[in-house]
Amino acid sequence: MKCPYCGYVESKVIDSRPTDEFERIRRRRECLQCERRFTTYEIIETMPLVVVKRDKSREAFDSGKLLAGMMRACEKRPVTLAVLEQAVQDIEMTLQNSLEKEVPSYRIGELAMEKLRAIDEVAYVRFASVYRQFRDIESFMKELQEILDSRGSKKA
């Protein structure tokens, strides 16, 4: 670490501790040349996620867009913003942990539907109807039947 006072590149760590949010590490350092002390902060470097869309175009992952889509599906439903934000965080963490640099958009949609299904079935159906682009009433009814069947197996 380069000393901010003399520019020397060697220093020793005197003290290390996490910040209040536990998202960074605060380090007190001492320059090995001028012996002055200074503070540095370390943060975890995350790999940027790139979303590969259906038309093969690519764009940076935007958790705000995912949250907006899930909020739209939950409109007028008893689902709190905190629950949706946590779901989006979980999805993003799952994607980051997969160690893939490029993620197909359908994978994000599937993860979102999985979360919404556990949160609110009506929101799930709304999201699925847009995401899966149901062409006719039969495909929509098939999805609803799957929900009803899974409900029946949970009660048994």
Local confidence pLDDT in tens for the 156 residues of the chain: 899 999 999 999 999 998 877 778 999 999 999 999 999 988 877 778 999 998 999 999 999 999 999 999 999 999 999 999 999 999 998 998 888 889 999 999 999 999 998 999 889 888 888 877 766 777 777 777 877 787 766 655
What per-residue confidence (pLDDT) applies to 87?
Answer: 95
What per-residue confidence (pLDDT) applies to 76?
Answer: 93
Is the CB of residue 49 less than 8 Å from the CB of residue 27? no
Q: Could you tell me the sign of the dihedral formed by the alpha carbons of 74, 76, 79, 84, in that order?
A: positive
What per-residue confidence (pLDDT) applies to 155?
Answer: 58
What's the angle, vertex CA 62, arms to CA 58 and CA 65, rounded to 5? 110
Strands 37-43 and 50-52: unpaired
Distance CA 73, CA 111 (A): 14
